[in-house]
Amino acid sequence: MDVANSLRVFVRTVETGSLSQAARDLGLAQPAASKLLRKMEEHCGASLFHRSRRGMAPTAAGRRLHSLCGDALATIDEALATVRAEGDEISGNVRIHSPACLGERHLHRIAESFRDRHRTVSVDLILGNAGVDLADERIDLAFGLRRATQADVQERRIGIARRVLVASPDYLARRGAPGTPAELTAHDVAVTDASLSADGGLSMIGPNGPETVTLDPVLRTNSVQILMGAALSGRAIATAQVLLVSDELADGRLVRVMPEHRVTPTDIRMSYLSKRFLRPAVRAFADFAAPRILAIEGVDRG
């Protein structure tokens, strides 16, 4: 019996809940993967999975085997993959999830630069502001602004994203500029879902330290394009990450509002399901992207 490959099929099936997905991830035909798994069950003398139309879940014996062999197999595979990658061009597909503000403005360019160096790597860039289940969506790397809540996820903090208030010169000419956080309540304000607390509080840091003002925004959205449109068209003062509006601030289409104040920043984090599946192409992209994200205008080491 091919013990190593049988264990690889077994471990990946536990992690994905799908034999067909495990076969795809390992570059095997499904009949071959099924045969390897069947041989493993015969070798163990126990059924390792409950099989149903919804997928495959490990039995008690399967969970026990996974807890005993998963890390050891991961260490071996990572060592072998690293040695292979040192002599060969990395290849394969990397699936990345990112919030739109980071993906549309910056991460897609980082991915293009990465592919300029590694032409045999393909990238799937999925944008969305909601959390994502890395296993269900087969995500290799997820970039986000919140801590991951999913179990078995490892995180790496890259830096912090500065956030500010911005408006168009036209808006400020018509409505005037607020001088204090309290004066924001007399203005039209547009915010993203993540900007305010549950009770409508906007947390800011000013010359005298942290301040919170309760707002009733005229627009609340999860779309950075809609938020930008509201600010650029002169309809509202907007909360925005500097990485999203750096070009507009530089060319004068937007200006800072209350520049001595800034909205409380957020972390930028990179997460992945488990290091045992951090293939060379995925690890290479993570190492390539992190310093380039940190170099973006509006991102600080923190």
At residue 88, the pLDDT reads: 61
Element (H, E) at 20: helix 19-26
**Is the domain 92-160+267-300 a CATH 3.40.190.10 member?**
yes
Q: Which tokens sit at 105?
A: 């403005």
Q: Residue type at 18?
A: S
Q: Quick one: angle between helices 19-26 and 3-16, nearest 10?
A: 120
CA of residue 178 relative to chain centroid, distance: 35
At residue 7, the pLDDT reads: 87
* Distance in angstroms (rounded) separating the CA atoms of residues 72 and 74: 5
At residue 68, the pLDDT reads: 82
Burial of 152 (0-12, 13-18, 19+ CB in 10 A): exposed
Which tens digits make up the pLDDT trace of 88-100?
A: 678 888 999 998 8
* Distance in angstroms (rounded) separating the CA atoms of residues 255 and 96: 32
Q: Which tokens sit at 162?
A: 């500065």
Instruction: Give start and end residues of each alpha helix (H) in 140-296.
Output: 169-175, 224-232, 242-251, 280-294
- Kindly report the length of the chain: 302
Hey, what CATH class is 161-264 in?
alpha beta
| Nearest one of 46, 64, 48, 45 to 9, comparing CA atoms | 48
At residue 74, the pLDDT reads: 66
* Distance in angstroms (rounded) separating the CA atoms of residues 104 and 101: 6
Which tens digits make up the pLDDT trace of 130-175?
A: 778 887 788 889 998 766 666 677 888 999 999 999 999 999 999 9
At residue 26, the pLDDT reads: 84
| C-alpha dihedral sign at 226, 231, 237, 238 | positive
Q: Quick one: angle between helices 3-16 and 60-87, nearest 10?
A: 110
At residue 80, the pLDDT reads: 66
At residue 280, the pLDDT reads: 84
At residue 16, the pLDDT reads: 85
* Distance in angstroms (rounded) separating the CA atoms of residues 76 and 82: 10
CATH 3.40.190.10 residue spans of the chain: 92-160+267-300
Query: Which residue is associated with the tokens 């390992």?
Result: 26
Fold of 3-87: Arc Repressor Mutant, subunit A (1.10.10)
CATH 1.10.10.10 residue spans of the chain: 3-87
* Distance in angstroms (rounded) separating the CA atoms of residues 223 and 142: 19
CATH 3.40.190.290 residue spans of the chain: 161-264
45 phi/psi in degrees, rounded to 5? 70, 30
At residue 100, the pLDDT reads: 85
Strands 299-300 and 154-167: antiparallel
At residue 160, the pLDDT reads: 94
Q: How far is CA 138 from CA 13, 36, 93, 95, 153, in A?
A: 13, 22, 11, 7, 13
Q: Residue type at 53?
A: R
Ranges of residues in the chain with a pLDDT under 70 are: 1, 70-71, 74-75, 77-88, 146-151, 274-277, 302
| Nearest one of 104, 159, 99 to 129, comparing CA atoms | 99
